[in-house]
Amino acid sequence: MRTMITRILPVMILAALLAVTGCSGGKQVTRVDTGEQIDLSGRWNDTDSQMVSAALVGQILATPWVEDFLAEKGKKPTVIIAPVANKTSEHIATQTLTADLERQFINGGRVKVVASADERDQVRTERADQQEFASPETMKQWGRERGADFMLIGEINTQNDSEEGTELKYYQVDCYLVDLQDNTKVWAGFEKIKKVVGRGKYKP
């Protein structure tokens, strides 16, 4: 009898403890490499952003518009990246995609990139401040900003399909490079990402 109670008691104590603590597991934090591909929910994530921006910039720079511009104007083209419009049913931080695109362009070295509208406002505030507080030899002048030759416009669209726990997520990022002088589209490209998110019907 005593042996039996000895066996059962821990089970009862464990049950009581579980009831009190609500089965809560401790939180664990692990640092991982930022380049590591991690998909948790299947939603748009940093890996998608990096893959799409690298592919799009590769496409843009592989076409002859840069050389055409160089031959005609004798200088590198200047590009401004417009915010990528999110037309999906997910809240996507498109600023990271815009930043990835900018970085790819800047690091490629074949085009110049100018600051976005929001960034320009910040810069102008600083320049205005300099007019009052900076020394004359270091103060930057008004009216010397570089105007962009081309604007990169883009949007993300998505299509979802699902059946019995399996979900298909299809993202398409469309981008156009538009000549700011005459609205000519000098390049159009897109990049697609397709994901299948499988969910088991049951777990233990």
Partner 1 sequence: MNDLARSRTGAALRLAALFLAGGALSLGAAGCATYSARIADLRPQLAGGDFAGALATVEDNTGGKDRLLYHLERGTVLHYADRYAESNEAFALSEQLADDLYTKSVSEGALSLITNDGSISYRARPFEMAMVPYFKALNYIGLGEPAEALVEARRAGEVQARYVEATLAAVREEDRGDLARLRADPFLLYWSGLLYEWGRETNNAFIAYRNAAVAYQELSGLLEVEIPAALAGDLIRTGTRLGFGSELAELRGSCPDVFAAAPDTAVGDRGSTGEVVLMIESGYVPQKEQVRFDFPVFVSEDYRDHDSWAWEYYGSRGNFQGMAGGRKIEYWISVAAPELKDDRPEVVGGCRVSAGIAGSHAAGVKVANLAREARITFDAEKPSIFFKTILRGLTKYLASRQAKKSGGAVAGVLTNLFGAAIEKADTRSWLTLPESIRMVRLSLPPGTYDLEVEILDSRGHPFHTDRLPGVTVSAGGWTFLSRRVF
Among 14, 62, 106, 196, interactor with partner 1 by CB under 8 A: 14
CA–CA dist 182, 196 (Å, integer): 42
Q: Which of 164, 181, 182, 183 binds partner 1 (CB under 8 A)?
A: 164
- Give the list of residues 6+ apart from residue 157 with CB closer than 8 angstroms, or none: 87, 88, 171, 172, 174
Inter-residue contact 165 to 201 (CB < 8 Å): yes
- Binding partner 1 (rule: CB under 8 A), the pick from 30, 91, 117, 181 is 91
CA-based end-to-end distance of the chain: 33
Q: Which stretch binds partner 1 (CB under 8 A): 18-26, 27-35, 126-134, 186-194?
A: 18-26
Q: Is 117 in the site for partner 1 (CB under 8 A)?
A: no
**Number of shown-chain residues binding partner 1 (CB under 8 A):** 32
Task: Name the minimum Å distance from CB 199 to partner 1.
Answer: 5
Is residue 93 part of the contact set for partner 1 (CB under 8 A)? no
Residue 2 is a binding residue for partner 1 (CB under 8 A):
no
- Please tell me what DSSP assigns to residue 181: T
Does residue 20 belong to the site contacting partner 1 (CB under 8 A)?
A: yes
String of DSSP letters for 17-53: HHHHHTTPPPP------TTS---SSSS--HHHHHHHH
Is residue 146 a contact residue for partner 1 (CB under 8 A)? Answer: no
The yes or no reply on residue 107 touching partner 1 (CB under 8 A) is: no
For position 203 contacting partner 1 by CB under 8 A, the verdict is yes
Query: Minimum CB separation from partner 1 for residue 16, in Å?
Result: 5
Contact predicate 51/66, CB 8 Å: no
Among 39, 67, 90, 126, binds partner 1 (CB under 8 A): 90
Angle 43-46-49 from CA coordinates, rounded to 5°:
95
CA separation for the pair 110, 153 (Å, rounded): 19
- Relative to beta strand 78-81, strand 112-113 is parallel
Which residue's CB is nearer to partner 1, number 11 or number 117? 11
38 is a contact residue toward partner 1 (CB under 8 A)? no
* Residues of this chain that bind partner 1 (CB under 8 A): 1, 4-5, 8, 11-12, 14-16, 18-20, 22-23, 41, 85-91, 160, 162, 164-165, 199-204
